[in-house]
Structure 1
Amino acid sequence: MTDAPRPLQLTMAAPRRGKPPRHLADLTADELAAALTELGEPAFRAKQLSTHYFAHHTVDADAMTDLPARSRQALVEGLLPPLLTPVRELLADGGTTVKSLWKLHDGVKVESVLMRYPGRATLCVSSQAGCGMACPFCATGQQGLTRNLSAGEIVEQVRHAAAALEAGSVAGGPGRLTNLVFMGMGEPLANYKAVLTAVRRFIDPAPYGFGVSARNVTVSTVGLVPAIDKLAAEKLPVTLALSLHAPDDALRSEIVPINTRWTVDEALDAARRYFEATGRRVSIEYALIRDMNDHAWRAELLAQKLLDRGRGWVHVNPIPLNPTPGSIWTASDPKVEATFVDRLRAAGIPTTVRDTRGSDIDGACGQLAAEEA
């Protein structure tokens, strides 16, 4: 086994920075009504303003012609302030993969990745600037954690993508955003409150949400067991993706340092409980790293651990490791990858090798680093 770098110290708490401006997407219905009263407007404006934001995907005051002309600009400034400033876009796959670099109000930068396929479009959303999980094969994890994003900052990534698709700004002509995955920068369950608020905005019907099917929303985690159980108790039928990457504690503790707190078995037990609570099949994410975790016996061990917890509750997504600057590791040999997948399938485990779109623009899994140059 290749020697792994010494894991970085985990950073669970986000450093404090200036709070983002108040935004409609951060507010409950009661809070929005109170904010409108504060601005001297009647509470029924909540539905009008939310319709423009969530249904029409606009923050342009001039487009809000059903609002009094005297009120439009004040409402936008007070409840729809700019949270994301575009810095740069990189395109791949003939323009159907778009990596966007955003600057937040305090100068912090994050990235999101929009991937368009025939019949669907998926946005890979960031929940934190950087990440405190310190996985050594992940560019984001090696940055450390800068801060959590607010719900508004998360939701704004979605609105921008939805508006770009509708306007035909993405290759393929006008389209619709159909899938949302928390697989951008950060550990979503380490920013639980904001992520849960954002998820509700994703799935709530218009005019108070985007109306995306909960089944088309995926929340990933490296295995924060108490937070998995907390999410299960919400009874929201979103998909849980567990980033496992090794079936044995000795190796997983090296490459996913949180494993020293919650073991492989504890993470898998929590994932199984999530399935039992929601009825949603769990995805197991497994980055295949050459000569590190791609051995056939590890595929067999993974299959056994999953089968020990029953059938029909899980799906495995092997992911060829995406290169990151300075990394000593690389993707598995294709023949080794094929053997790994074959062993899982032979054991009866549904297995699909993950598409690695965007790797040439550092937009694939584990590559997001929010760099300008």
Structure 2
Amino acid sequence: MSLSVPASPAPAAEPVLRPASLVGRTRAGLSDALAEIGVSEKERRMRVGQLWNWIYHYGVRDFSAMTTISKVLRAALAERFTLDLPEVTAEQVSSDGTRKWLLRMPPVGARDRGAEIECVYIPEVDRGTLCVSSQVGCTLSCTFCHTGTQRLVRNLTTEEIVAQLMVARDRLGDFPGRTPPEGAFVPNDGGRFVSNIVFMGMGEPLYNFDGVRDAIDVISDNEGLSLGRRRITVSTSGVVPQIEALGAEMGTMLAISLHAVRDDLRNELVPLNKKYPIRDLLEACRNYPGLSNAKRITFEYVMLKGVNDSDAEARELVRLLKGIPAKINLIPFNPWPGTRYECSDWDRIERFSEIVYRAGYASPVRTPRGRDILAACGQLKSETEKLSARARLMLEQSEAEAAALAG
């Protein structure tokens, strides 16, 4: 048998670095931008406030619209910066109104090819929830999660995290005085657009702690995007050392991807458990800053047929969580191509929920949303993994350098 050797791929063109966008920057980041164009330190504080208001409250996309800023300064800003949002390379709309956007981020350096990530908007009767990503890919390899099959490329920057909310609001016409773009989904229930954010998209948020923390500062600032921290939930697979800091520095709601009540099974489903077992994880939860009945922890539990859905496991779940103000989100498994798992039968899910509920815990069964466009929980996976051979080599070299430094 003869083997054909594929031709070596042509070298990829170097990315074109466009002027930097101010969208997504912190107040300090905007101040730095003003300093770059020669604005005095004395003047910068006032100008930062003006830029903040125009960018995050009004969502303007052109410096010329910033009528409270002088024409000279607007021209200087436009020459050096943009107000560009990430490119929406694909938009899918589910039969239930869920929207999934594939976003291409501009290159952040000479070695970056421009990341692609997904975020999802879920409209409901009483809220509009945006599921955002914190990393390109994921390093945790949870076996039931589609995202976990995609290798980690890099952390998203603070600007890239904030930009996901900006894209959603822009696409939905969710800024004051804005006419929704043609074809955008607009809720017809009184204007509830993006009212909640969950860090449950691609990646482990606590492995991008600084980027997520700074993004939350921008998102929750009441002079701009104005989303209260009680309306922001950060979900972690159990990075125990960072949980206390999450509560102390971010003050958001906490969700734990639990999915099993025994270490041996959780080691398989959530390999991070080998490093931070259930006992340590729950102890960190008990010590979460601000924990109370008004600020309960959400424990996420994906229902896998014949794997973790028995009556005995429901009772053990109740025992494990005793004393922790909590609610338990039961998530019907959302299938994806190539998975070996199946969703628990509906009567089995209901029986599991009943046991938990009778023990005094709220145990809503999360209605699967966006399954038909692979936008449901655990289904997100961008096209970034289809890297060029050159980009893969550069990534592998970076990983080797990082491993050498860690060693």
Q: Normalised by the shorter chain, which TM-score bucket? A: 0.7 to 0.9
1:182 matched to 2:183 = no
1:6 corresponds in structure 2 to none
**CA deviations over 1:173-201 (Å, ceiling 9, x no partner):** 55432101101111111100000001111
Alignment partners' CA distance in 1, 2:17 and 2:156: 10
2:33 corresponds in structure 1 to 35
1:315 matched to 2:327 = yes
Answer with 349-358 or 285-294: which moved more.
Answer: 349-358
2:247 corresponds in structure 1 to 232
Secondary structure in structure 1 of the residue aligned to 2:194: coil
Deviation at 1:77, TM superposition (A): 6.0
Deviation at 1:230, TM superposition (A): 1.4
| 1:247-326 correspondence runs (5 A) | 247-274=261-288, 276=290, 280-307=295-322, 310=323, 313-326=325-338
Change (3 A) 1:180 1:193: same
1:329 matched to 2:344 = no
Aligned-residue CA RMSD (Å): 2.4
Q: Percent identity?
A: 37
Alignment partners' CA distance in 2, 1:276 and 1:29: 27
Change (3 A) 1:290 1:74: farther
Deviation at 1:242, TM superposition (A): 0.2
Answer with 59-68 or 215-224: which moved more.
Answer: 59-68
Alignment partners' CA distance in 2, 1:154 and 1:19: 19
Answer with 175-184 or 161-170: which moved more.
Answer: 161-170
1:7 corresponds in structure 2 to none
Q: How many residues align?
A: 350
Alignment partners' CA distance in 2, 1:104 and 1:27: 15
Deviation at 1:33, TM superposition (A): 2.5
1:159 matched to 2:160 = no
Alignment partners' CA distance in 1, 2:117 and 2:316: 36
2:369 corresponds in structure 1 to 357
1:343 corresponds in structure 2 to 355
Deviation at 1:202, TM superposition (A): 1.3
| 1:103-142 correspondence runs (5 A) | 103-105=104-106, 106-142=113-149
| Higher Cα Rg, which structure | 2
Alignment partners' CA distance in 2, 1:340 and 1:20: 53
Tell me, yes or no, if the aligned pair for 2:236 and 2:257 is still in contact at 8 Å.
Answer: yes
Deviation at 1:284, TM superposition (A): 0.1
Secondary structure in structure 2 of the residue aligned to 1:274: coil
Secondary structure in structure 2 of the residue aligned to 1:357: coil
Answer with 328-337 or 157-166: which moved more.
Answer: 157-166
Q: Which of 86, 89, 103 is the equivalent residue of 1:87?
A: 89
**Given residue 100 of structure 1, which amino acid in structure 2 is its aligned partner?**
W
Alignment partners' CA distance in 2, 1:304 and 1:194: 35
Deviation at 1:332, TM superposition (A): 0.3
Q: Which of 182, 190, 197 is the equivalent residue of 2:214?
A: 197
**Structure 2 segments unaligned to the other structure (5+ residues):** 1-14, 107-112, 387-407
Change (3 A) 1:341 1:127: same
Tell me, yes or no, if the aligned pair for 2:24 and 2:218 is still in contact at 8 Å.
Answer: no
1:59 corresponds in structure 2 to 61
Change (3 A) 1:334 1:299: same
TM-score calculated relative to the size of structure 1: 0.87
Secondary structure in structure 2 of the residue aligned to 1:348: coil
Secondary structure in structure 1 of the residue aligned to 2:376: coil
Alignment partners' CA distance in 1, 2:140 and 2:303: 19
**Given residue 199 of structure 2, which amino acid in structure 1 is its aligned partner?**
F
Alignment partners' CA distance in 2, 1:20 and 1:110: 19
**CA deviations over 1:295-330 (Å, ceiling 9, x no partner):** 1111111100101xx15x111001000011100111
Tell me, yes or no, if the aligned pair for 2:85 and 2:166 is still in contact at 8 Å.
Answer: no
Deviation at 1:25, TM superposition (A): 5.8
Tell me, yes or no, if the aligned pair for 1:125 and 1:157 is still in contact at 8 Å.
Answer: yes
Secondary structure in structure 2 of the residue aligned to 1:50: helix
Alignment partners' CA distance in 2, 1:76 and 1:342: 59
Alignment partners' CA distance in 2, 1:318 and 1:273: 24
Alignment partners' CA distance in 1, 2:152 and 2:121: 23
**Structure 1 segments unaligned to the other structure (5+ residues):** 1-16
1:221 corresponds in structure 2 to 236
Secondary structure in structure 1 of the residue aligned to 2:56: helix
Alignment partners' CA distance in 1, 2:359 and 2:375: 33
Deviation at 1:138, TM superposition (A): 0.7
Q: Which of 237, 253, 257 is the equivalent residue of 1:243?
A: 257
Tell me, yes or no, if the aligned pair for 1:252 and 1:259 is still in contact at 8 Å.
Answer: yes
